[in-house]
Amino acid sequence: MRARVLRVSRHLPCRTRRAGVEIVSAIELTGTQSDAAYAGYRNVWLTAGAGSGKTRVLTERILFLHLEKGIPLHRILAITFTEKAAEEMRVRIGSRLAAIGARDSLRAVPEAAITTIDAFCMRLIQEYGDAVGVDPQFRILDPVESAEWEAEVWAEVLDRWWRERREDAMALFGALPLTIGPAHPGGIDGSVFWSLLRKIHTAGADLDEVDFTTPELGGMAEALWAAVHANAGRAAGKMRGTPAKTMEKLQEIARLGGARDLAEAERWALLAEVRGRIKGTVAKSVKEFIDETAEWIDALEGIGFESRHQSIRELLGEFVRELDETFFARKRDRSALDFIDLEELAVRLLEIEKVARETKRRYRYLLLDECQDTNGLQLSLMRLLWNDGRFFAVGDPKQSIYHFRDADIQAYLSLGREFAEKNSIALTLSENFRSRPEIISFVNGFFATVWSGNEALGVPYEALAAGNEVRPAVDPRIEYLSVRDEDVKEARYREAALLADRLRAIHE
């Protein structure tokens, strides 16, 4: 029987027979897109700018591995950031397979291992959970219930310390602001402790190995100082009509921020002076900012940066570990897990030789999308899944927007350095096919200035190139609409209103 000739991708280097179908090339890709999609079994570190055809390349990569290398779709593990992105990729793969008449492969698309990190972790725990003492029939703890349990566990651990370790409790919490009187620390707000725990876990750190005796308290003191800095800045921006000296000191805190090289005496002198000023009567509109700032300053005074507080730091470590253990025990006993638990347990499972061996045998190739929005814990998971020469990671540090969910751009950059040390190729998709050249030119000019010299961003600005050559019916025009307001909600409302007014004016 003569083989039918179907066209799959333009740059496939050879012809392959699959069930009597000869596969040759057809879809148009740029040179760099082609290099990324058809890179064989090499590790690929792909930086993909906005509108550069990233999803198309991922789709072609999976098709290449399946059709050219013969890997079944259910053995190519593709990790996406959202369920929507996973579904979009399945649809694209299905459409491409339908177009070439690959019926057997098309029927396998629903079983393709295209999933989110959390869904992958759930499946792994359901299969191997007994190995780490977890009920495979666990449920996911919803955010409301999780907050309720945190409050209950917080009260339980505080009460236990007050009954069994009263002197330690008084030493640790004595300087913190109390809301129900000095006889019991139960009124202390535990949010900063839970925040600290989340940061430790999502960083992939082992809580038992975190050194709370360091000057940074495992990050606690710097987190508290950053909170003072942020609240002082917000307060200073709101305090119209407030005595000038108080305003000046708050602005000074905001300017100094978390500077590590600030002299100890300067820090504490500044905190003491501001604390004395902001406890007085202030305008109602800024009271929440001032009260919160005062509480953080109290917390800093209680924990401190100086060496004489080392014993308090040790107590802090003991308290935080007990808080974490009590919370996890409650979840385990009630067969409930949160999303951080899913990822941590998956890491623990993949550290078991048998589980790692079977999982790597199941998935012959790994792809990770939106790599820039992952955290240290998630990247630890990816490393455990990594078969040498079988990892394709795509991201763009300029598009990292989930720091508030503990995405860690430094962890992303560290992974990039690991790729460079292995059998890898590093490629950049900088051609934008989504936007007009005029828009690209404006964006490049604007952000080259904004980005320049900002070392905190961790990466240099890389200009985009315009790939959209279609001429519009009318010449485009760029307008920059600026809204300045310290109140985020108010700024968003004003920005939306300004944009709506401008669009209305254009169409009238």
Please give the biggest Cα pair distance in the chain.
Answer: 92
pTM beyond 0.75: no
What is residue 392's predicted lDDT score, i.e. its pLDDT? 96
The single residue listed with the structure tokens 């459409």 is: 95
What would the mean pLDDT of 327-356 be, rounded to a whole number? 95
CA dist 178 and 173 (Å) reads: 9
- Specify the higher pLDDT residue, 423 or 117: 117
What would the mean pLDDT of 274-301 be, rounded to a whole number? 47
Number of other CB atoms surrounding residue 490 within 10 Å: 11
Q: Domain ranges in the chain?
A: 29-113+363-429, 145-328
pLDDT band at 257 (very low <50, low <70, confident <90, very high): very low
3-state secondary structure 307-371: HHHHHHHHHHHHHHHHHHHHHHHHHHHCCEECHHHHHHHHHHHHCCHHHHHHHHHHCCEEEECCH
Query: Torsion angle, CA of 28/32/37/38, rounded to 10 degrees?
Result: 100
What is residue 58's predicted lDDT score, i.e. its pLDDT? 95
What is residue 27's predicted lDDT score, i.e. its pLDDT? 66
Weakest mean pLDDT among 37-41, 322-326, 460-464:
460-464
CATH number assigned to the domain with residue range 29-113+363-429, chosen from the 4 options 2.40.30.200, 3.40.50.1220, 3.30.70.1450, 3.40.50.300: 3.40.50.300
Average model confidence (pLDDT) across the chain: 76
What is residue 275's predicted lDDT score, i.e. its pLDDT? 47
Is the pLDDT at 250 greater than 90? The verdict is no
Residues 6+ apart with CB under 8 A from 417: none
Is the pLDDT at 426 greater than 70? The verdict is yes
What is residue 232's predicted lDDT score, i.e. its pLDDT? 44
